[in-house]
């Protein structure tokens, strides 16, 4: 019967194919030139004149709405959603209703929602040029109720961008264009500070959402932290470049996505500088100059902890390094090849000088990963090397002690903190010059005390990566995503559970489009970012 | 002048040869994803885009995959969530016509339809499908397994 199904599929698509005319060259030309005027038929000079006239006409047409816009018109558009679709899910005696709503109207983009402490949700919206996927404009959208989204400003970025949380209710974006790192640090509801020359905000943006120039050379207090203005140049001393002045509080200097990401508000800083919470049981992390780049080393042991490689053209790659007993440990962070440095940071070995076939942009790496989370009053750092995981805990980010190790596995390893539990997700994978591919099976673990773990039996394809999180109403949402070699796309199935035992499959998203990244719980709603096709969706689940 | 013309002819010949090679591949994939009419329109748009930007597209490692994604985005934009899977016209005696198949295919995800079509109808290899979709082979395999499982269930076919 399976053979018959294959034959029927074959027959179906082959019949369609035979009845379909191929697209030929003349149609491609028509598509370009457009009816009814064919430039190809116009004689020499007229052809140019017609083309110019058409171009002017198009520009005028596009400009008309802006020309006609009255000052009182809202500058920002509020997105609206089409009629939500409702799906009833049942399995056994369990049932739920899922309402799926799409917010349409945002420009084609990569979209990521971010929670904000005062109830805002900020969204980084990158409009990417097809030539250089990581360039364009980062638009900032916000919503206070999860149903209406407004465009509140734009930041121009040339390469590399994103929005990351920083202490003190701040957010920051960064840009490594031309090897000159530039940062914007901003917050809502009060000050908004731009630390770079890029600033553009909509004129009518509410107070607190505008970008303002950062005073040159003067530390500026914003909330609970002090921002240090920096002149960016790779020629300067590294300490100066990163503003790492002894005794000087920092807003947040996350060199990689999450390596140093947990910085509690009001955290004290070590006399010698630097990072409020490192990763590993180190009291201090010193910044040292290195001929090949920027190194962070543990000043107690001399181990290299973090390394940014650069060349004359600029930042070549960022990668994590972790010293161990073998003396060599390397992790690729992005394009530019895979290389290793010694644990002292003075020897570099090119492993794949030609670079990987795809940009590998995940912060996690094959042999080592770091997770630092806050759980209640303590911070827990998880260091994975190969198959083993070590854990350390700290109450102030300075003194660290051993913490019971969680389950381990060589692959994707991610711990997330929720108010009443920790969640661990492991998905072994394989790694080669083509990047990373899933190898399954998944393992989901839950801990309510931060020390002991219980495995959760989850549905779905065990070889596909997933993301499990809790919605306020008590439902757990499991989002799968296939590995496409990029940070796009989450395209697997979704499941709901209220008890971690019965899972209700929801095909409402995967059946339609890929999503750009992990969904985010917001109250009793789940926000799901779209990719490449201008949408943001929300799921509401009810009994 | 003559040199420019020769160069232009070379570029044109290169693109024509490219179209001959990739047009069926892109069109079949887009037809599976969006239906015959929208798939064909999207193919024409993608190839036009390819010609306009041929200096860049032509030097890419995977130009067909790139144009497929261009077409995919545009088709999604114009179609929204509408999915069109046309039934196959038949004389009524063809043993390989499954009347329920079009409906079952329309309930697959877009990517699942593309994978099933290219693998089962046009005999592509997993790697070829992965290249066009710009995903890993493992991902193609996952989509294929899930699609076939769903089709079998919908059509009442024994596993």
Considering only CB atoms, which chain B residues are within 8 Å of A4?
Answer: 96, 157
- Residue-level pLDDT at B3: 52
Considering only CB atoms, which chain B residues are within 8 Å of A464?
Answer: 142
Residue of A nearest to B49 (CA): A32
Confidence check: pLDDT of B63 > 80 = yes
Asked which of A143-157, A216-230, B90-104 is least confident by mean pLDDT, the reply is A216-230
Residue of B nearest to A17 (CA): B28
Q: Strand, helix or coil at A194?
A: strand
- Residue-level pLDDT at A407: 85
Which H helix or E strand runs over B115?
helix B110-116
The answer to whether the CB of A1 falls within 8 A of the CB of A9 is: no
Q: Nearest 5°: CA angle at A279, between A277 and A283?
A: 60
Give buried/exposed letters for A2-17 (b at 16+ CB in 10 A, else e).
eeebeebbbbbbbbbb
Q: Identify the CA nearest to A414 among candidates A451, A452, A442, A392.
A: A442
Residue, of A127 and A395, whose pLDDT is higher:
A395
Q: How far is CA A12 from CA A19, B19, B23, B113, B157, in A?
A: 11, 25, 20, 12, 17
Q: How far apart are CA A213 and CA A202, in angstroms?
A: 15
Best of B135, B150, B154 to disrupt the A interface (most A CBs within 10 Å) is B135
A200-215 tens-digit pLDDT: 334 444 443 334 444 4
Partner-chain contact B36 A16, CB within 8 Å: yes
Best of B40, B64, B88 to disrupt the A interface (most A CBs within 10 Å) is B88
Q: Identify the CA nearest to A22 among candidates B54, B16, B86, B59.
A: B16
Confidence check: pLDDT of A102 > 60 = yes
Read off φ and ψ for residue B29, nearest 5 degrees. -65, -45
Q: How far apart are CA B86 and CA B65, in angstroms?
A: 25
Confidence check: pLDDT of B25 > 50 = yes
DSSP annotation of B89: P
Residue, of A200 and A481, whose pLDDT is higher:
A481
Considering only CB atoms, which chain B residues are within 8 Å of A8?
Answer: 96-98, 101
- Residue-level pLDDT at B117: 92
Residue of A nearest to B18 (CA): A25
Considering only CB atoms, which chain A residues are within 8 Å of B121?
Answer: 9-10, 12-14, 17
Residue A189: is the preceding peptide bond cis (ω within 30°)? no
Partner-chain contact B101 A492, CB within 8 Å: no
Q: Strand, helix or coil at A500?
A: coil
- Closest approach of chain A CAs to the CA of B120, in angstroms? 6
Q: How confident is the model at residue A524 (pLDDT cuts 50, 70, 90)?
A: low
| Mean pLDDT computed over A488-497 | 62
| Mean pLDDT computed over A463-471 | 63
Partner-chain contact A434 B136, CB within 8 Å: yes
Residue, of B84 and B119, whose pLDDT is higher:
B119
Neighbour-count burial of A462, counting CB atoms closer than 10 A to its CB (0-12 exposed, 13-18 middle, 19+ buried): middle
Partner-chain contact B97 A485, CB within 8 Å: no
ipTM confidence score: 0.88
Q: Strand, helix or coil at B128?
A: helix
The token pair that represents A273 in the structure block = 């500088």
Beta carbon pairs, A and B, within 8 Å: 156
Phi/psi class of residue A204: alpha, beta or left (left: φ > 0; alpha: ψ in -120 to 50)? alpha
Q: Which of A29, A461, A533 sits opposite B142 (nearest CB)?
A: A461
Read off φ and ψ for residue B133, nearest 5 degrees. -85, -10
DSSP annotation of A21: P
Q: Identify the CA nearest to A526 among candidates A485, A487, A482, A468.
A: A468
Residue, of A339 and A382, whose pLDDT is higher:
A382
The answer to whether the CB of A140 falls within 8 A of the CB of A123 is: yes
Q: Is the dihedral of CA A247, A253, A258, A262 positive or negative?
A: positive
Half-sphere exposure of A92 (CA within 13 A, CB side): 6
The answer to whether the CB of A277 falls within 8 A of the CB of A397 is: yes
Best of A1, A6, A13 to disrupt the B interface (most B CBs within 10 Å) is A13
Q: Which of A5, A20, A491 sits opposite B151 (nearest CB)?
A: A5
Considering only CB atoms, which chain A residues are within 8 Å of B155?
Answer: 5
A272-312 tens-digit pLDDT: 222 222 222 221 222 232 333 444 444 455 554 444 443 33
CB count within 10 Å of CB A93 equals: 6
Sheet holding A525-529: strands in order across?
A: A85-91, A94-103, A536-542, A525-529, A520-522
Q: Strand, helix or coil at A71?
A: coil
Q: How far apart are CA A20 and CA A15, in angstroms?
A: 9
Partner-chain contact A485 B134, CB within 8 Å: yes
Considering only CB atoms, which chain A residues are within 8 Å of B159?
Answer: 2
Confidence check: pLDDT of A54 > 90 = no
- Residue-level pLDDT at A416: 78
The answer to whether the CB of A321 falls within 8 A of the CB of A329 is: yes
Residue of B nearest to A4 (CA): B96
Q: How confident is the model at residue A394 (pLDDT cuts 50, 70, 90)?
A: low
Q: How confident is the model at residue A453 (pLDDT cuts 50, 70, 90)?
A: very high
Confidence check: pLDDT of B101 > 80 = yes
The answer to whether the CB of A455 falls within 8 A of the CB of A444 is: yes
Q: Identify the CA nearest to A282 among candidates A362, A381, A140.
A: A381
Confidence check: pLDDT of A495 > 90 = no
Q: How far apart are CA A275 and CA A261, in angstroms?
A: 9
Name, in order, each residue with C-beta under 8 angstroms of A506's C-beta and a sequence gap of 6 or more.
A87, A89, A98, A493, A494, A495, A496, A539
A60-93 tens-digit pLDDT: 333 333 322 222 332 333 444 455 566 666 666 6
Q: How far apart are CA A433 and CA B159, in angstroms?
A: 36
Partner-chain contact B151 A17, CB within 8 Å: no
Residue of B nearest to A7 (CA): B96
Considering only CB atoms, which chain A residues are within 8 Å of B96?
Answer: 4, 7-8, 10-11
Place of tokens 């914007």: A184
Q: How confident is the model at residue B45 (pLDDT cuts 50, 70, 90)?
A: confident
Q: Nearest 5°: CA angle at A253, between A398 and A341?
A: 80
The token pair that represents A458 in the structure block = 């989850």
- Closest approach of chain A CAs to the CA of B6, in angstroms? 19
Q: Which of B44, B134, B151 sits opposite A31 (nearest CB)?
A: B44
Which H helix or E strand runs over A318?
strand A314-320
* Averaged pLDDT of chain A: 50
The token pair that represents A291 in the structure block = 């001929």
| Mean pLDDT computed over A480-493 | 50
Q: Strand, helix or coil at A353?
A: coil
Best of B40, B51, B120 to disrupt the A interface (most A CBs within 10 Å) is B120
Q: Which of B77, B102, B157 sits opposite A1 (nearest CB)?
A: B157
Considering only CB atoms, which chain B residues are within 8 Å of A531?
Answer: none
A164-193 tens-digit pLDDT: 444 334 444 444 333 333 444 444 333 333
> Whole-model pTM?
0.42
CB count within 10 Å of CB B97 equals: 17
| Mean pLDDT computed over B24-35 | 90
A231-282 tens-digit pLDDT: 222 222 333 333 333 322 222 232 222 222 222 222 222 222 222 222 222 2
């Amino acid at each position: 019967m399976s053979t018959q199904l294959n034959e029927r599929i074959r027959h179906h698509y082959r019949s369609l194919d035979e009845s379909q005319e191929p697209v030929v060259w003349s149609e491609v030309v028509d598509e370009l030139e457009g009816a009814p005027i064919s430039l190809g038929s116009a004689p020499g000079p007229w052809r140019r004149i017609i083309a110019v006239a058409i171009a002017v006409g198009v520009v005028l047409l596009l400009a008309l709405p802006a020309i006609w816009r009255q000052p009182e018109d809202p500058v920002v558009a509020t997105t609206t959603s089409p009629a939500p679709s409702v799906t009833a899910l049942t399995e056994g005696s369990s049932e739920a209703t899922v309402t799926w709503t799409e917010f349409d109207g945002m420009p084609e983009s990569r979209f990521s929602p971010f929670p904000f402490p005062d109830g805002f949700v900020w969204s980084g919206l990158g409009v990417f040029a097809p030539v250089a996927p990581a360039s364009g404009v980062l638009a900032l959208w916000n919503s206070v109720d999860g149903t209406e989204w407004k465009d509140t400003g734009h930041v121009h970025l040339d390469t590399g961008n994103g929005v990351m949380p920083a202490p003190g209710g701040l957010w920051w974006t960064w840009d490594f264009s031309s090897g000159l790192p530039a940062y914007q640090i901003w917050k809502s509801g009060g000050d908004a500070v731009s630390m770079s020359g890029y600033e553009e905000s909509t004129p009518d943006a509410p107070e607190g959402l505008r970008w303002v120039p950062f005073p040159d050379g003067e530390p500026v207090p914003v909330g609970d932290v002090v921002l240090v203005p920096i002149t960016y140049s790779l020629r300067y001393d590294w300490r100066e470049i990163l503003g790492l002045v002894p005794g000087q509080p920092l807003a947040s200097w996350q060199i990689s996505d999450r390596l140093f990401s947990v910085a509690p508000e009001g955290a004290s800083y070590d006399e010698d500088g630097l990072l409020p919470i490192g990763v590993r049981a180190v009291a201090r992390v010193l910044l040292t100059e290195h001929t090949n780049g920027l190194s962070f080393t543990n000043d107690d042991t001399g181990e290299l902890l973090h390394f940014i490689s650069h060349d004359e053209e600029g930042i070549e790659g960022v990668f994590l390094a972790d010293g161990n007993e073998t003396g060599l440990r390397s992790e690729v962070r992005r394009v530019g090849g895979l290389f290793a440095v010694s644990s002292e940071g003075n020897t570099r070995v090119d492993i794949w000088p030609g670079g990987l076939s795809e940009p590998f942009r995940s912060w996690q790496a094959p042999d080592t990963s770091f997770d630092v989370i806050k759980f209640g009053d303590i911070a827990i750092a998880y260091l994975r090397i190969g198959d083993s995981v070590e854990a350390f805990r700290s109450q102030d980010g300075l003194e660290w002690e051993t913490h019971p190790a969680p389950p381990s596995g060589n692959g994707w390893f991610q711990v997330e903190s929720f108010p009443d539990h920790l969640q661990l997700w492991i998905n072994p994978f394989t790694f080669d010059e083509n990047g990373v591919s899933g190898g399954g099976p998944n393992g989901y673990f839950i801990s309510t005390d931060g020390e002991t773990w219980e495995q959760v039996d989850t549905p779905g394809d065990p070889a596909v990566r997933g993301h499990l999180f809790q919605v306020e109403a008590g439902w757990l949402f499991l989002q799968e995503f296939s590995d496409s070699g990029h940070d796009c796309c989450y395209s697997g199935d979704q499941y709901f559970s209220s008890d971690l035992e019965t899972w209700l499959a929801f095909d409402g998203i995967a059946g339609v489009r890929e999503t750009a990244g992990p969904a985010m719980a917001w109250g009793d709603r789940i926000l799901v970012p779209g990719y490449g096709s201008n949408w943001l969706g929300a799921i509401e689940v009810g009994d | 002048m003559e040199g420019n013309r020769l160069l232009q002819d070379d570029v044109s010949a290169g693109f024509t040869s490219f179209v001959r090679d990739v047009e069926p591949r892109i069109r079949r994939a887009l037809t599976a994803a969006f239906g015959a009419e929208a798939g064909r329109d999207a193919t024409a748009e993608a190839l036009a885009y390819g010609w306009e930007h041929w200096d860049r597209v032509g030097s890419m490692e995977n130009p067909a995959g790139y144009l497929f994604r261009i077409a995919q985005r545009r088709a999604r934009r114009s179609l929204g969530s509408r999915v069109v899977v046309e039934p196959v016209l038949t004389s009524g005696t063809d043993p390989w016509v499954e009347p329920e198949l079009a409906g079952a295919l329309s309930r697959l995800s877009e990517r699942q339809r593309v994978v099933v079509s290219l693998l089962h109808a046009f005999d592509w290899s997993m790697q070829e499908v992965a290249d066009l979709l710009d995903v890993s082979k493992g991902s193609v395999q996952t989509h294929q397994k899930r699609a076939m499982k769903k089709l079998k269930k919908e059509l009442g076919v024994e596993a």
